[in-house]
């Protein structure tokens, strides 16, 4: 701020010995100065408030439009499933967190119904009024912010766990933007909320210990990470393990630890250790967890032969692949690898779904397009395999673009259609 102009002495007259300013004059000058300061400050405040008011008015406009939609939406709308039920796609909306709730300009843009998720994209009309554009996507199931991990488990993975003892292979993928709840869903929050993998393992051990053939059965786990096309063993201090590809495009991971587990506690301790290995210290050699895919597998062996398998995959943040900006060579390579593997995954599940649903000629499944899909190949193929994808989305208005990308990705896997309406 420029100080108020209080100089009264003309500049042109040469400075003589001025009489000392009287106390009264100083007081008057100070008062004037203070008043000018106060006025400037008030003007600034008024301008700021005017700005705030208009943005708050905008937010109100968006929220009102969303509320009108919610008041009229069919909450029980259910999409009829006709295709192959061994491939299912779900979407999960996480709640706005404590921090997000404190941001006055942030609002919830997602309206879940039983099998449709509506995303409201804020738009400004030509006349500057505020409106929303709603994109609707149908899935096998939608979890709103009030469904806990137990509820998600029961509807997605429980059936796979049972079939594991009849030779079944089940795989669950968590796909979504970083911070949308992938790890929370599959591995829990490390505190009071346990993940899908733990619910599954509890039930697997329950079946295992009470099984009539339990003397000939054994359980084994592996836990590894795929980062930039390389694999790292999370049960062995993150040592790099080598991927070996045979002539048929099958990939084996040489040197990967497969640890036999006889108690649930032993298993949980090992995974906890692996999860810590995954999240502690982010360096060039050990990237943060949003940049790698984590794969946990539990195998059921009967007299050493694998008869059942269950896999959990916590995918790399989906924004990595599409993110642009001022990034280095390594990040670009990394982003390209993530992009490649997520696209390959989508195309594989999609092709598998189509070939199973149409009963037609065997369709080509493009497993070879990425290391991730090559490694997981045996979990997809075969009559007894089941695949679940859980797409996680953040509800905040600052995540609309990422959420839209996630919903489009998940939608492409099966392309379920709502009654009387398309998606997106
Ligand atoms: P991601 O693995 O996709 O990057 P996280 O699972 O780490 O995201 O989730 C980010 C934060 O949001 C974590 O603090 C997590 O506990 C919280 N969170 C995610 N999903 C939920 C949910 N459904 N309910 C409550 N908190 C959640
Ligand atoms: Mg995570």
**DSSP-assigned states of every residue in 3-71:** PP----S-SSSPP--PPPPPHHHHHHHHHHHHHHHHHHHHHHHHHHHHHHHHHHHHHHHHHHHHHHHHH
* Ligand number, closest to the Cα atom of 195: 1
- The more confident residue out of 40 and 128 is 128
**329, two tokens:** 């060579």
- When mean pLDDT is compared across 25-29, 126-130, 151-155, 203-207, the lowest value belongs to 25-29
DSSP class of residue 416?
-
Which positions ≥6 away from 289 have C-beta within 8 Å? 183, 278, 279, 314
Residue 381 CA to ligand 2 centre (angstroms) = 27
Which atom of ligand 1 is nearest to 184's Cα?
6
**For residue 127, what pLDDT is reported?**
83
> Nearest Cα to 303, choosing from 180, 215, 171?
215
Residue 326 CA to ligand 1 centre (angstroms) = 27
pTM of the model: 0.85
**For residue 56, what pLDDT is reported?**
80
User: Does the structure show a pLDDT above 90 at 378?
Assistant: no
User: Contact, 251 vs 375, CB < 8 A?
Assistant: yes
User: Does the structure show a pLDDT above 50 at 204?
Assistant: yes
**224, two tokens:** 């590894």
Distance of alpha carbon 343 from alpha carbon 52, whole angstroms = 42
DSSP class of residue 316?
P
**For residue 4, what pLDDT is reported?**
44
- The more confident residue out of 393 and 46 is 393
Q: Which residue has the tokens 């896997």?
A: 413
Confidence of residue 282 (pLDDT cuts 50, 70, 90): low
Q: From atom 14 of ligand 1, which residue's Cα is the shortest distance away?
A: 189
The answer to whether ipTM exceeds 0.85 is: yes
pLDDT tens, position by position, 243-275:
998 887 778 899 999 999 999 999 999 999 999
> Nearest Cα to 319, choosing from 397, 411, 399, 413?
399
**For residue 36, what pLDDT is reported?**
76
**For residue 263, what pLDDT is reported?**
95
Q: From atom 24 of ligand 1, which residue's Cα is the shortest distance away?
A: 94
Residue 149 CA to ligand 1 centre (angstroms) = 11
Q: Is the CB of 385 under 6 A from ligand 1?
A: no
User: Contact, 176 vs 389, CB < 8 A?
Assistant: no
User: Does the structure show a pLDDT above 60 at 47?
Assistant: no
- When mean pLDDT is compared across 124-133, 136-145, 291-300, the lowest value belongs to 124-133
Residue 188 CA to ligand 1 centre (angstroms) = 8
Which atom of ligand 1 is nearest to 187's Cα?
6
Give the mutation target among 95, 98, 150, 179 for probing the ligand 1 site: most ligand atoms within 8 A of CB. Answer: 179
Give the mutation target among 189, 290, 319, 338 for probing the ligand 1 site: most ligand atoms within 8 A of CB. Answer: 189
Half-sphere exposure of 312 (CA within 13 A, CB side): 26
Distance of alpha carbon 345 from alpha carbon 245, whole angstroms = 18
Residue 290 CA to ligand 2 centre (angstroms) = 6
Mean pLDDT of 357-364: 70
Q: Is the CB of 279 under 6 A from ligand 1?
A: no
**For residue 129, what pLDDT is reported?**
81
Q: Is the CB of 149 under 6 A from ligand 1?
A: no
Distance of alpha carbon 180 from alpha carbon 118, whole angstroms = 16
Tell me how far apart the 2 most distant CA atoms of the chain are, in Å: 112
Confidence of residue 13 (pLDDT cuts 50, 70, 90): very low
Distance of alpha carbon 114 from alpha carbon 74, whole angstroms = 9
User: Does the structure show a pLDDT above 90 at 322?
Assistant: no
Which 3 state secondary structure label does DSSP give 293? strand
Residue 380 CA to ligand 2 centre (angstroms) = 23
**For residue 259, what pLDDT is reported?**
97
DSSP class of residue 303?
T
Q: Is 12 left (phi over 0), alpha (psi -120 to 50) or beta?
A: alpha
User: Does the structure show a pLDDT above 90 at 323?
Assistant: no
User: Contact, 106 vs 100, CB < 8 A?
Assistant: yes
**For residue 2, what pLDDT is reported?**
41
């Amino acid at each position: 701020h420029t100080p108020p102009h209080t100089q009264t002495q003309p500049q042109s007259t040469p400075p003589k010995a001025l009489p000392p300013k009287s106390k009264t004059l100083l007081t008057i000058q100070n008062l004037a100065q203070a008043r000018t300061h106060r006025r400037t400050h008030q003007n600034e405040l008024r301008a700021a408030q005017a700005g705030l008011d208009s943005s708050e008015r905008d937010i109100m406009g968006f929220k009102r439009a969303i509320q009108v939609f919610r008041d009229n939406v069919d909450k029980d709308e259910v999409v009829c499933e006709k295709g192959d039920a061994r491939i299912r796609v779900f979407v999960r909306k996480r709640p706005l967190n404590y921090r997000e709730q404190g941001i006055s300009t942030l609002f919830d843009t997602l309206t879940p119904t039983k099998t449709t998720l509506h995303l409201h994209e804020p738009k400004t009309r030509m006349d500057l009024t505020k409106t929303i554009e709603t994109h609707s996507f149908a899935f096998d199931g939608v979890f709103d912010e009030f469904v806990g991990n137990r509820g998600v488990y029961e509807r997605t993975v429980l059936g796979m766990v049972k079939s594991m003892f009849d030779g079944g292979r089940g795989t669950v993928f968590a796909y979504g933007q970083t911070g949308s709840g992938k790890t929370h869903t599959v591995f829990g929050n490390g505190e009071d909320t346990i993940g899908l993998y733990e619910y599954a393992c509890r039930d697997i051990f329950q079946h295992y210990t009470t099984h009539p053939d339990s003397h000939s059965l054994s359980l084994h786990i592996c836990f590894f990470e795929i980062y930039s096309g390389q694999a790292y063993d999370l049960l062995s201090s993150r040592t790099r393990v080598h991927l070996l590809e045979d002539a048929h495009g099958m990939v084996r991971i040489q040197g990967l630890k497969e640890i036999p587990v006889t108690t649930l506690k032993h298993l949980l301790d090992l995974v906890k250790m692996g999860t810590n290995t995954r999240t502690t210290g982010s360096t060039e050699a050990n990237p943060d967890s949003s940049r790698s895919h984590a794969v946990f597998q539990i195998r059921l062996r009967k007299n050493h032969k694998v008869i059942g398998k269950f896999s959990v995959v916590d995918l790399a943040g989906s924004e990595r692949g599409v993110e642009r900006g001022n990034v280095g060579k390594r990040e670009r390579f990394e982003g390209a690898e993530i992009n490649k593997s997520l696209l390959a995954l989508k195309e594989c599940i999609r092709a598998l779904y189509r070939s199973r649903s149409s009963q037609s000629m065997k369709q080509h499944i493009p497993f070879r397009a990425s290391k991730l899909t090559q490694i997981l190949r045996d979990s997809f193929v075969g009559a007894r395999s089941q695949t679940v994808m859980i797409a996680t989305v953040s509800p905040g208005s600052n995540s609309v673009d990422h959420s839209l990308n996630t919903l489009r990705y998940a939608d492409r896997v099966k392309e379920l259609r709502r009654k009387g309406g398309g998606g997106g």
